[in-house]
A and B are shown apart, each in its own frame.
Chain A
Amino acid sequence: MSEQTADPAVGPEEAATPLDEGPEPTGFWKRLTASSLIVTVLAFVTAMLLGGILIAVADPRTQNASHYFFQYPWDTFQYGFTAIWKGYVALFEGAIFNPHTASKGTLAGYAGPISETLTNATPLILGGLSVGLAFRAGLFNIGGQGQVIMGAVFAGFVGFHWHLAPGLHLVLGILAGMLGGALWGGLAGLLKAKTGAHEVITTIMLNYVAVYFLAYLLSVKGFQAPPYGQAISNRVFKSAQLPPLLGNSVRVHGGLILALLAAWLIYWLIEKSTLGFRLRAVGANQFASRTAGMSVENSYITVMLIAGALCGLAGVSQILGTNSQLTGDIDAGIGFDAITVALLGRANPKGIIAAGLLFGALHAGGTQMQSATGTPIDLVQVIQSLIVLFIAAPMLVRVMFRLKGPSSVVGGTLAKGWNG
């Protein structure tokens, strides 16, 4: 992971310009192709291209034209490209700026798409930080789902069960959410430290325990909302909700501030603090760290507590920000998306913010794309997994585009097997 720290701070979007200018026979081009950044960009482009093929395949007009492909192939290509263009334009309009709604002149019209992107990005950034921090300490936190759920359950309970003064209620709700996530994450850390149980196995299992625990809670009176027909919880009081950032007409909420604060804190923790040094050392080589007198076991517990708390915050953002009632799918797949965010962001906070924004934009745009062009939103999941697949296999991207240079493997420093 040393290579990732060599080029911190560069998000995927910053790289777009030099690529378009084409290859230059300079030292700059050499350095660019040798960096892991180029792999990120190429991974994104390749995934979008493959996604484009899927859009074309799913387009009914293109399907019809393909029936007479051998008589008149041009139609197939034309309709296919039109479908891809329309799909990606809708994706852009849903994520960044939509001229049609903006022409109404309202705030929601201008800022709606960006607000959706930021709303979607908030829990992804928090979850990505959680997984990323664990990566740096050599742990694989695959239990985001369970931690998000427990965070949301704790925060939600404080939110709808207690009556408190506005500011205090929110603070306690946030702390409760962090506590819930930390308990769930810390349990995996504790098991790893005390018994050596592999955190991947325990966190996967804890995910399902949390899922069923939530299902149970949603059938209990006092938790479930009357008239007790649906599996949905009581509504969180206004006093515990994260304030909207741009007024009530758009959804973006104070969770974003929490996410950015958390990113800054984690950056400081990893790069500047003694604790962060210890965690990184344990992540790089646990045997050497132990010899140097560090307590590897305590590091495991600490890092999983913090990682759990971060996922708990993602749960807070879900229940006190985006939604106000707990449902069975309150986690919205954040736990697993967070893994892709952390991998794309190369486990450093700035990269994770960029990756979270990118995937948040894909999710926001995917919704718009589905309603405007009928392309299923599952495409976003496919693109997301393809990006990460290429990122995780830098060798493959380098072979595909005939680039030279070393391949830094994301997650390469993780414990390799179940026993280690």
Chain B
Amino acid sequence: MTTMAQPADELTVEHVVTRAPVSQAQRLGAGLSLVALGLLTIWRFAMNGHHDTDASIRLGALNTAHVPAFTVPAVPIAWVAGVLITALGVLWLIIPRRRWFGAVMGAGLGLFVIALIAWLASASSFAFVDVVGLLTNTIGYAVPLILGALCGVMCERSGVINVAIEGQMLAGAWTAALIGTVVGATAGMLAGAFAGALIGALLAVFAIRYLVNQVVLGVVLNVFAAGLTGFFYDAFMQPHQEALNQPPLLENIKLPLLGSIPVIGPLFFDTSIIVYLTYILIVVVDVWLFRTRWGLRTRAVGEHPKAADTVGINVLAMRYRNVIIGGAIAGLAGSYFIFQVGQFQKNISSGQGFIALAALIFGRWSPRGAVAAALLFGFASAMQVTMSINAPSIPSAFIAMLPYIATIVAVAGLVGKVRAPAADGEPYVKE
């Protein structure tokens, strides 16, 4: 760590760090956690597993006829998985290779999940795990996280910290419920995005024009959005639920060919318009950020605004646009809650905005990483539901903690280096 460096030099310093070989902390952190995970798998799922029952796995809901189903021996799976994870951990401790980091950690986690699912599915002779249902839930939980994280990508890549994702979701949800009831579902969805953009605009004006500390601002905007939507809910919606808070649900649209594919069809291609929009946005944001002029400029503004300004990019305009568009994406996530739950309730986003922030950071401020992290966190939520049914003795609270702990571990650099855009959170004042 070079302490005397000028802010402008830090960029180069960080570059050197990211190309350095695997650090001691990462080597030990990742290796030991893998070994611990492997031993846990062996102890809990193999040695103390359900020896007398096999795991029954289904590929579809219970009431559907001709659901593909099969059984596998749970305990042997757990043995194999546990030994493999431990071996991976030991291997990483001996010869860490930066290139293999993602693959090793992914394989370790994947094996653990397989052993866990097998264990859950063998909990009793009646227990089973519906893998397709699990994945459907995963997508259901992940969609708002993906949208929230993409909002974060838009804002933070252009250099504005957005802690107010939660507030943008709430504003979007309230507006979507109101307009959805009064006008219609599609209008409600668009209105939700618009409301999110409004909070985004507030964030932008105060952060860019009035130079307010952006974390302070985000926190305050969250309180503001929660207070305002709560106030309007109590004042208008609560007394007139039918007139103002009964939005129609968005109907599922089955895509012609893709929707008929056996397992994948119902999973991905028979769902609501917001989910399709999410697919599109994932691709668009990724392409946009890395393949277009706008994206290049956005990244330039987020990394080194002064340099960007020197070559003629309008730094502040770039930031305004990105933050407002980001807000609209988070607002869309808010309307997703509405068309999923059916009506607005106070604090309906219940911290999802903060998990989205976690996904953004865990995904290292890249769209692909953020989407992967959001899917991972969504999967953790879906597992929580399955576990509360199949293994109620295991407290689901610990599974719920996992996204947050994973994010702490990630920013602490124990399992890899996380670096934010260099000018993220720094207001730009032209000299």
Instruction: Please tell me which one of the listed residues B7, B215, B222 contacts residue A414 in the complex, with CB atoms under 8 A apart.
Output: B215
Instruction: Please tell me which one of the listed residues A213, A216, A411, A419 contacts residue B419 in the complex, with CB atoms under 8 A apart.
Output: A419
A-chain residues with CB within 8 Å of residue B414 when the two chains form the complex: 195
Instruction: Please tell me which one of the listed residues A197, A200, A209, A380 contacts residue B401 in the complex, with CB atoms under 8 A apart.
Output: A209
Residues 245-261 (chain B) with a chain A CB within 8 angstroms? none
Residue of B nearest to A211 (CB): B351
When the two chains form their complex, are residues A419 and B420 in contact, meaning their CB atoms are under 8 A apart? yes
Residue of A nearest to B400 (CB): A212
Q: Which of B45-53, B78-86, B224-232 contacts its partner?
A: B224-232
B-chain residues with CB within 8 Å of residue A420 when the two chains form the complex: 7
B-chain residues with CB within 8 Å of residue A375 when the two chains form the complex: 235
When the two chains form their complex, are residues B413 and A381 in contact, meaning their CB atoms are under 8 A apart? no
Asked if B370 CB lies within 8 Å of chain A CBs, one says no
Residues 334-350 (chain A) with a chain B CB within 8 angstroms? 336-337, 339-340, 343
When the two chains form their complex, are residues B226 and A201 in contact, meaning their CB atoms are under 8 A apart? no
Secondary structure of the A side of the interface? helix
For the complex formed, measure the closest distance between the CB of B428 and the CB atoms of chain A, giving whole angstroms. 11
Residues 174-193 (chain A) with a chain B CB within 8 angstroms? 191
A-chain residues with CB within 8 Å of residue B7 when the two chains form the complex: 420
Q: Which of A110-118, A234-242, A243-251, A390-398 contacts its partner?
A: A390-398
Asked if A140 CB lies within 8 Å of chain B CBs, one says yes
For the complex formed, measure the closest distance between the CB of A201 and the CB atoms of chain B, giving whole angstroms. 5
Instruction: Please tell me which one of the listed residues B213, B400, B407, B420 contacts residue A205 in the complex, with CB atoms under 8 A apart.
Output: B407
When the two chains form their complex, are residues A201 and B411 in contact, meaning their CB atoms are under 8 A apart? yes
For the complex formed, measure the closest distance between the CB of B302 and the CB atoms of chain A, giving whole angstroms. 10
Secondary structure of the B side of the interface? helix
Residue of B nearest to A60 (CB): B239
- Count of chain B residues near A, Cβ 8 A: 62
Asked if A225 CB lies within 8 Å of chain B CBs, one says no
When the two chains form their complex, are residues A54 and B231 in contact, meaning their CB atoms are under 8 A apart? yes
A–B complex contacts, Cβ < 8 Å, 23 sampled? A140-B215, A140-B216, A195-B413, A196-B1, A197-B408, A198-B420, A205-B405, A209-B405, A219-B395, A291-B3, A336-B219, A376-B233, A382-B231, A389-B206, A395-B210, A396-B206, A410-B216, A411-B216, A416-B213, A417-B161, A417-B420, A417-B421, A419-B419
Given A191-B412, A216-B395, A418-B361, 18 more A-B residue pairs with CB atoms under 8 Å apart are A140-B216, A142-B215, A191-B411, A201-B407, A204-B163, A205-B405, A206-B408, A208-B355, A212-B401, A290-B3, A343-B216, A380-B227, A382-B227, A392-B220, A393-B210, A396-B210, A417-B426, A419-B424
Interface set of A (CB-CB < 8 Å, partner B): 54, 57-58, 140, 142, 191, 194-198, 200-202, 204-206, 208-209, 212-213, 215-216, 219, 287, 290-291, 336-337, 339-340, 343, 375-376, 378-382, 384-386, 388-389, 392-393, 395-396, 409-412, 414, 416-420
